[in-house]
């Protein structure tokens, strides 16, 4: 597998590069993705949407709808564009708004109410907006610092395990993270520090992190594939930073797509730096094919899709009873005690925190 393609499939969350082109379309859809009265239903998403062709084909056969997928860049970019076009939306369903950006979407009236079939099987800890059902939880994952095992072994240095470790002199100039104002994992990492150190304590933490040489880049692709020394199985990597803000599911992706496959993951996760992320989908306000959109949302909660999702998008299912691949359990288990934050608190503070973070870290 080429390094370019390999980098693509290692995209494991929001705002990342595309994993595969999985949508199909028919002649009834126009170039903007409008469904009209046709049998086309249009899904708008960030670039890392993916599903097995056979699973999507089964839905199309059983429902009678053809699925057209419009990938619209980074998660934040996709959400903002969807809000700007909500009166004349590009599609019928939006997938990929997460708990860090959920309030922005809801406050701007991006979605209409619909309770998807199977919603009662969603794990209780992931349910939100249960009075209006404007969004449906689809998947979850942990934003965490990843480390290059080879680097730390060669330098006889113990990898960091917590937020506190990252500001120690031993890890000076080793970490790269994403811009909290432009990147979903970057924002998640900021929220993780706010959850860990409190409303008043996180700015002081970031001052120390900045003094310890943290590097900030625009997005995940640049951070992981260009700056991180451990990407692509530790081979052909361009970067010299052995610590990167990524996902707990990045190590299993490194194993699964390596050729030949290693017996252990070349990267590890600092579990004390994790922030729990949840992704949602919703029926867009003014959707032209609302019935098709409802059918598609139902599909995203089926056992078939939820079982298929982990090895396509490297996230965990939210449906009770859905299967988690053995590779996840072995190489990338979910954090046992991740930082979390109530969506209402994120809504109240996110924009002010990002503004303060930008002034503190980037200036």
CATH number at residue 271: 3.40.190.10
Phi and psi torsions of 68, nearest 5°: -110, 130
Q: How many domains does the chain have?
A: 2
Determine the Cα angle at 16 with ends 236 and 221, to 5°. 35
Same domain as 103, residue 70: yes
Same domain as 226, residue 122: no
Distance in angstroms (rounded) separating the CA atoms of residues 300 and 94: 12
**% of the chain beyond a pLDDT of 90:** 74
Same domain as 89, residue 8: yes
Same domain as 290, residue 315: yes
Same domain as 155, residue 96: no
Same domain as 83, residue 17: yes
Same domain as 286, residue 259: no
Nearest to 220 by CA among 180, 260, 171, 254: 180
pTM, entire model? 0.83
pLDDT tens-digit profile, the chain (363 residues): 333 333 333 443 333 333 333 333 333 334 334 444 569 999 999 888 999 999 999 999 999 999 999 998 777 788 989 999 999 999 999 999 999 999 999 999 999 999 999 999 999 999 999 999 999 999 999 999 999 999 999 999 999 999 999 999 999 999 999 999 988 899 999 999 999 999 999 999 999 999 999 999 998 889 999 999 998 744 455 799 999 999 999 999 999 888 888 889 999 999 999 999 999 999 999 999 999 999 999 999 999 999 999 999 999 999 999 999 998 888 878 899 999 999 889 999 999 999 999 999 998
Same domain as 319, residue 194: no
Asked if 294 and 114 touch (Cβ cutoff 8 Å), the reply is yes
Same domain as 216, residue 343: yes
Residue range(s) defining the domain that contains residue 201? 142-276+334-361
What residues pair up with 140 in beta bridges, in sequence order?
278, 316
With b for 16 or more beta-carbon neighbours within 10 A and e for fewer, the 101-124 pattern comes to bbbbbbeeebbbebebebbeebee
Same domain as 340, residue 321: no
Same domain as 221, residue 78: no
Phi and psi torsions of 214, nearest 5°: -60, 140
């Amino acid at each position: 597998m080429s390094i370019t393609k390999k980098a693509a499939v290692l995209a494991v969350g929001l705002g990342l590069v595309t994993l595969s082109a999985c949508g199909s379309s028919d002649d009834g859809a126009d170039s903007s993705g409008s469904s009209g009265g046709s049998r086309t239903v249009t899904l708008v998403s960030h670039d890392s949407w993916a599903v097995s062709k056979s699973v999507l084909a089964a839905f199309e056969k059983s429902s009678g709808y053809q699925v057209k997928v419009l990938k619209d860049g980074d998660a934040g970019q996709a959400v903002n564009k969807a809000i700007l076009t909500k009166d004349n939306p590009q599609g019928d369903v939006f997938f990929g708004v997460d708990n860090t950006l959920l309030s922005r979407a809801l406050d701007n009236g991006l979605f209409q109410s619909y309770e998807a079939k199977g919603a009662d099987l969603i794990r209780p800890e992931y349910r939100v907006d249960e009075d209006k059902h404007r969004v449906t939880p689809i998947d979850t994952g942990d934003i965490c610092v990843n480390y290059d095992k080879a680097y730390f072994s060669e330098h006889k240095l113990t990898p960091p395990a917590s937020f506190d470790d990252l500001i120690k002199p031993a890890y000076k100039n080793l970490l790269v993270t994403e811009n909290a104002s432009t990147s979903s994992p970057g924002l998640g990492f900021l929220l993780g520090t706010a959850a860990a150190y409190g409303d008043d304590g996180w700015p002081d933490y970031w001052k120390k992190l900045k003094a310890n040489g943290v590097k900030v880049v625009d997005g995940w692709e640049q951070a992981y594939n260009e700056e991180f020394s451990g990407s692509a199985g530790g081979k052909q990597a361009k970067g010299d930073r052995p610590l990167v803000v990524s996902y707990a599911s990045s190590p299993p992706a490194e194993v699964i797509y390596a050729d030949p496959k290693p017996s252990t993951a070349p990267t590890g996760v600092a579990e004390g730096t994790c922030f729990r992320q949840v992704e949602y989908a919703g029926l867009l306000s003014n959707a032209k094919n609302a019935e098709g959109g409802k059918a598609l949302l139902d599909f995203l909660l089926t056992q078939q899709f939820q079982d298929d999702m982990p090895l396509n998008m490297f996230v965990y299912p939210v449906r009770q009873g859905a299967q988690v691949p053995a590779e996840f359990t072995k190489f990338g288990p979910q954090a046992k005690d991740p930082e979390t934050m109530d969506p209402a608190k994120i809504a109240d503070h996110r924009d002010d925190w990002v503004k303060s973070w930008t002034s503190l870290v980037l200036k």
